[in-house]
Amino acid sequence: MATATDSSGVSGITTGTGTDPLTSTDAPIGAREITADVVVVGAGPGGASAAYWLAASGLDVALLEKTEFPREKVCGDGLTPRGTRALVAMGIDVSEEAGWLHNKGLRVMGGGMRLHLDWPELTSFPAYGLVRPRADLDNLLAMQAVKAGAHLHERTTVNGPILDREGNVCGVNATEGPDKVPVVYRAPIVVSADGVAGRLALAMGLQRDDSRPMGVAVRRYYTSPAKTHDNYLESWLELWDGPPGADTSKLLPGYGWIFGMGDGTVNAGLGVLNSSKAYQRTNYKGLLSSWLDNTPEEWGLREENAIGQTQGAGLPMGFNRVPHYTRGLVLVGDSGGTVNPFNGEGIPYAMESGQFAAQAIIQALARPEGSAREAALRSYPQAMADEWGGYYRLGGVFVKLIGNPAVMRACTRHGLPHPGLMRFVLKLLANLHDKNDGDLADRAITLLTKLAPAVRG
């Protein structure tokens, strides 16, 4: 993450402003050198996915992680069926016996109503979501990449890209361990999976597009026997600073969640979008407490039951850093702004982008250096645009609309009383539909995304 801190009042939150980009350098004299087919920087879901698919194809992959597993990450810990599908594709055992908590849908709270929406029955996706702490999830994904043959290098901090005479990335400079031993990793292709700040991308001149959606999310764990066992993910569309009522001045910006963890605790958090006037001008820690203090007392979501501190992170959405490939550098996950602007979900899109990137890299490395290899690598941003470009364009419009609390409240009050409409909205917001053989709602969403001009990857 970048060292920049926003005005939220919560230490550690960054929206990836990138005030401290890495510096492109030559390899330091005397540094130990490691050569691979591909270097992947960052072993979160995007990096681990890319490393898994690359290694499974037989390529020599160096997977670099600046921390050590297991490690904490800010996240809601809940996955929709899209995340379930991505995990299953990587061969992860997602059974309850393996420690996963299954959920069957979304409970929507707002406008004085409570609506249960089951995940749709689809050909393309399973009909259940998952809950698992990120500390466990990321460790599982990294170890799956290792099982496929990737070489994981923990406590390895990347200090900058190495460029050849043409200005293409051909490796990275790094330091390893507490003694910061210099190491050079060389490869013809480097994958930037280093998170929201995208420091490798910044070092290559790839700035974030501030016209694209961005969000901030905060979360905290609480002991809550009353809410811990829940087979629905719970989403709050209205957050009130006090009892719900007609005084819209008490309506807080953003949306919230309460996800039962199944172990006596819950993950409670909220997100605010950059289309809101409150973005980066809000004490998010106080905002979270104000909302939760008005939930039922028996739920236990109070300061005395809190576990650890409130933590937050930026949510880079809607391809807010492009191109996703340039001069030997491939962007996946948060580095390329792949978070879904409709619902703030990031993990499955990071994993899928890692798979798309791997497919392009595999084809590229089977070709000689030059135009043929470059053509294969350029297929990756095209694949990203084809898959999500139109959908993310719609998401950008959605973000601007709901940034107005009055619009959000009107949608809540007039939409929730109509379950059929809300089932369509669930499919749209969670990006869960069958593109080719679905029902009327599926076909409508497919048509909308085709008609929308694609955000380019």
* pLDDT level of residue 169 (50, 70, 90 thresholds): very high
In a domain, 434, yes or no: no
Tokens of 222: 């609480």
**Domains identified in the chain, total number:** 1
How many Å apart are CA 315 and CA 400, to the nearest integer? 15
**Residues of the domain holding 333:** 32-102+130-211+319-398
- Tokens 């409670």 sit on residue: 268
* pLDDT level of residue 244 (50, 70, 90 thresholds): confident
Vertex 238: Cα angle to 237 and 240 (nearest 5): 155
In a domain, 327, yes or no: yes
Tens digit of each residue's pLDDT (9 = 90 or more) over 123-141: 999 999 999 999 999 999 9
- Tokens 């702004």 sit on residue: 337
Tokens of 44: 């979160």
Radius of gyration of the chain (CA): 22
In a domain, 413, yes or no: no
In a domain, 342, yes or no: yes
CATH of the domain at 331: 3.50.50.60
In a domain, 291, yes or no: no
Range 406-427 burial, b when 16+ CB lie within 10 A, else e: eebbebbeebbeeeeebebbbb
In a domain, 249, yes or no: no
What pLDDT score was predicted for residue 193? 97
In a domain, 376, yes or no: yes
- Residue % of the chain over a pLDDT of 90: 74
In a domain, 83, yes or no: yes
Output the pTM of the full model.
0.92
